[in-house]
Amino acid sequence: MFDSILVPTDGRGDMARVAERALALAECGDGCIHALYVVDEAAYSAVPEDARDRVRETLAADGEDATRAIAERAHEADIDVEREIRWGDPAVAIVAYAVENDVDMIAMGTRGKTGFERYLLGSVAEKVVHVSPVPVLTVRIGDREDELSELLGA
């Protein structure tokens, strides 16, 4: 079914929910996981020139940690894993990686931002969903319980 699943990660702890679902799908089809961390170059360009090397090293280390966390979970489940860190626009880099590596599906988290916050920040997941040539599984992460209680009026 899905032989190759891309899991873009930002390294936050709630990405574990995304990894769990991707790993479950990979296990069903004896698949492979691709863990990808993308450093947003637009945000990085605002860093003062004299601090760029230090910030670049820190961001690369964050990417190593984030992809390692997914790789460790994959290894525990006896699933093959590839890891990569890229620099650029996150949505573009995610879709480009998927195409270049012939992945069957992208599994990514979404925080469900709405309204003005979404307008200002945009949504990487939304952009990927709109342009991806492969299926995209979005997994709600963040404060689900608070939002569910608010929705249900509890």
Residue 106, strand partner residues: 6, 136
Q: What is the largest CA-CA distance in the chain?
A: 51
Q: What angle do CA 57, 107, 88 make, to 5 degrees?
A: 35
- The pLDDT of 2-7, averaged and rounded, is 94
Question: What pLDDT does residue 141 have?
Answer: 82
* pTM for this predicted structure: 0.85
CATH topology of domain 4-152: Rossmann fold (3.40.50)
pLDDT band at 40 (very low <50, low <70, confident <90, very high): confident
Domain positions in the chain are 4-152
Question: Each residue of 26-37: pLDDT tens digit?
Answer: 998 788 999 999
